[in-house]
Structure 1
């Protein structure tokens, strides 16, 4: 009996479909950096940077989560953008909305609901985390609460102030109160080559399953800090509301009267 010509063709097509079918791959990295940002510096310590009150929820007067960033020791780089097509679903983080509004807030101008920020973080870092969307955000928020930076600093006499200077060594000593952790302190300078240094971000090393704080595999203690650092105040109640470029705050938004914002609306 003659061999059917259809069989080799079907076999070849089967191989093609198998080769090009999407596969769920495990992303290789060694640990996470949990990056916590101080909004007082973001709003008042960066030249020409302005802040606005979000349209949804009330930001907490506390450190914000910026991201949970996978880090690969071999490449020496943060692992980013691991999905060819990124899908972010607000429904998957519905139970976390209150905490996201409080501790993962977007205080940039114009005023917004934070959704674009969360989508950007998920697509940039979350897709490389080997976690589902809901677990990624939930664990980052839980770790932020576990660390409780403001409480640690307060116990060590480090509180937000527009006039006080704190020693970098004192800040690093206070951070040793985080059990089993290793941290990196990042500052922002008022101007590029002169001016005060402001406490800006704290990077905390986290296990690759995002469940626990660990000692950093990489020895780095500070980024862009001087020996004396300011810890600027932040009061979210005084943030102005801005809906577009025409009514952006023209001066320090913490001090701008709310009535001045509605003139072009």
Structure 2
């Protein structure tokens, strides 16, 4: 009886570990950047970080592991913690490229902690914490969304632009079709809010999206000033 119990217990442990491993597997990343002017309109209020007003540029929202069926893993490590010391030399770059606009004003640590614990821990099979944040910074530089749009004459000037023109400009620059998320401001304008690019599981190369995010936008959207 004791032997049978021991074998049964071991089988349960193996089964649990196998399920845990599968739950942390994923198919691709969404690399998501947001326009700060639209964020402030979306929330109807925003706070600049303690380091000052961010640049008028797209800021990183996150690097999110995804499944092809449209679902995603989250909070994969109950004991996962954000170790600021591991990325101390990246803080300046993070403040510039991954700024927080949440209120009350803060230094960004809460935002980065949330993104690592909720999303980053589900990518630990591929990236440790430092690699996760480094990868996101490199992807932002590689995409250079604002320049891609400006090259097509699409500028953050409160003007209205065809959604298809925005998609085409980003595809021309990156080689891949982005997903676009819009918000509606207090004046009921549809605004360019977030841009989703799909990335391979190594978080190094853009890929064609296995599944585009389901986001609604008007056919013409505003690109607000910031």
Structure 1: unaligned runs, 5 residues or longer: 1-7, 235-265
CA distance in 2, matches of 1:213, 1:178: 12
Task: Specify the alignment match of 1:150 in structure 2.
Answer: 146
Partner of 2:180: 185
- State how far apart, in whole Å, the 1-side matches of 2:165 and 2:175 are: 18
Q: Which residue of the partner structure matches residue 121 of structure 1?
A: 115
Aligned Cα RMSD in Å?
2.5
Give the structure 2 partner of residue 68 of structure 1.
63
| Aligned-residue offset at 1:126 | 0.1
Shift, 1:177, TM fit = 1.7
Distance 1:174 1:109 in 2: 33
Aligned match of 1:41 in 28, 38, 43?
A: 38
Tell me if the contact between 2:167 and 2:177 (Cα under 8 Å) persists in the aligned partners.
no
Matched residues in 1 for 2:153 and 2:114: separation? 36
Distance across 1 between alignment mates of 2:147 and 2:133:
22
Q: TM-score, normalised by structure 1?
A: 0.74
1:100 to 79, 86, 94: 94
Task: Tell me the equivalent position of 2:192.
Answer: 199
What is the number of residues matched between the two proteins? 216
1:134-158 per-residue CA deviation (whole Å, 9 max, x = no partner) reads 0001001100110000100100000
Q: Does 1:139 align with 2:131?
A: no
User: Residue 54 of structure 1: CA displacement?
Assistant: 1.1
**Aligned match of 1:28 in 10, 25, 28?**
25
Is 1:159 matched up with 2:155? yes
Question: As a proportion of its length, which structure holds more helix?
Answer: 2
TM-score (norm 2): 0.86
Instruction: Write the distance in 1 (CA, Å) between the matches of 2:53 and 2:176.
Output: 30
Larger radius of gyration: 1
Counterpart residue number, 2:85: 91
Structure 2 unpaired stretches of 5+: none
Please say if residues 58 and 101 of structure 1, whose CA atoms lie closer than 8 Å, have aligned partners that are also in contact. no
- Partners in 1 of 2:74 and 2:173 — Cα distance? 27
